[in-house]
Amino acid sequence: MKQILFLVTLTFVALGANANPALEGDWMIELKPSGAPIIGLLQLERDGDEWKGFVEGGPVPVTIDDDHIDILIDTRDLRGFIFFMRLKGEMTDGVLAGSFTIESEAKVNASDGTWTAERYEQSPRSTEPKPVDLSGIWTPARGRDFRKYIMDLTPAAEAWHADYLMHYDQPNVRCASPGITAMVAWGAYPFEILESDDRLTFIYEFDSEVRRIFLDDRQPPEFYPHSGMGFSTGHWEGSELVIETTLLSQNTRDFRGEPVSEQARLEEVYTLSDDGQTMSAVITLHDPDNYERPPIRRRAWTRKPDTGIYPNECDPDSFYRQMYNENLLDMYFERSRRRF
């Protein structure tokens, strides 16, 4: 598996002298396994005879021969096991389509299926606010997200991440906040939205975190500190809620431990389904210090008013006690540079 990961990280440029130049550009790709569909942004870029592929902002190996394409997408299941989806297909009448298979050294809860991709052009958002009711309790919905594992890191971020150890360096294992960038994408826990005239309040079950999204164009007070939750403002573009979060403290983006800088900006776009029962979000991290192109996550939730939001308590003593018992405390403190 380590060898395969090495190839995914480094070999995302493929030669394709006979490739159809019409494949270049942005595509919205949809996978149809046995369960819920998975969607994401596929970007194909050409520089002479060299091609680069990216899915949701992360590099993927891609081979293109005339109208035929072969893509290997790294991902992970809910338990954190890494696996790969190999997509093979061709372009017909301006649409990419084919089948995909699962490649994994571990037994994962994933199935083969078919896929299609159509040209993607971002539609202009409405300038007239048309707020919708997002209040209530939301629980995670299946599918939607690729869970793309490896992103397009800058050299500085690659160097920082090189010796990251998830069990020891991940903030939440020692009861420190993983930050909103990680929390909003994990999606394994319910959360509640409370509405008032000038703000939305998000109450997350995970870590019992509370987040305020101000809707009245206010700016952060002078000397407002950086934090894991940052400072969030929101506005309506038509019926889409757009949230921008700044003043984030240094943290990690996901389980893999890729860094988030204090200059990062998180953008979330929330959309409510016509029946008001499903809420989806496109989550984009803008952090040029650490990423050559923004990582993208997609989440969906179902409105479940009877779901309980339970206290989420964390005991840091259990973390340090284990290291003490295993004579690893010195190692942990020597790695203090890894923790913000």
**44-97 confidence digits (pLDDT tens):** 998 777 889 999 999 999 999 989 999 999 998 777 788 999 999 999 999 999
| Torsions phi, psi for 61 (to 5 deg) | -65, 135
Check residue 49 and give its pLDDT.
77
Closest CA to 255 of 157, 312, 320, 181: 181
Place of tokens 């389509």: 97
Distance CA 186, CA 177 (A): 13
101: enclosing H helix or E strand: strand 95-103
Is 278 within 8 Å of 301 (Cβ atoms)? yes
- Enumerate domains of the chain plus CATH numbers: 2-119 (2.40.128.120), 136-303 (2.40.128.20)
Spell out a b/e string for 198-235, using b for 16 or more CB atoms within 10 Å of the CB, else e.
ebbebebbbbebebbbbbeeeeeeeeeebebbbbbbbb
How high does pLDDT run on average in the chain? 89
Lowest model confidence (mean pLDDT) among 23-32, 44-53, 63-72, 264-273: 44-53
Instruction: Read off the pLDDT band of 2 (50, 70, 90).
Output: very low
CA angle, 299 as apex, 292 and 174 as ends, to 5°?
75
Check residue 18 and give its pLDDT.
66
Distance CA 248, CA 335 (A): 22
Is 247 within 8 Å of 211 (Cβ atoms)? no
| Torsions phi, psi for 157 (to 5 deg) | -70, -35
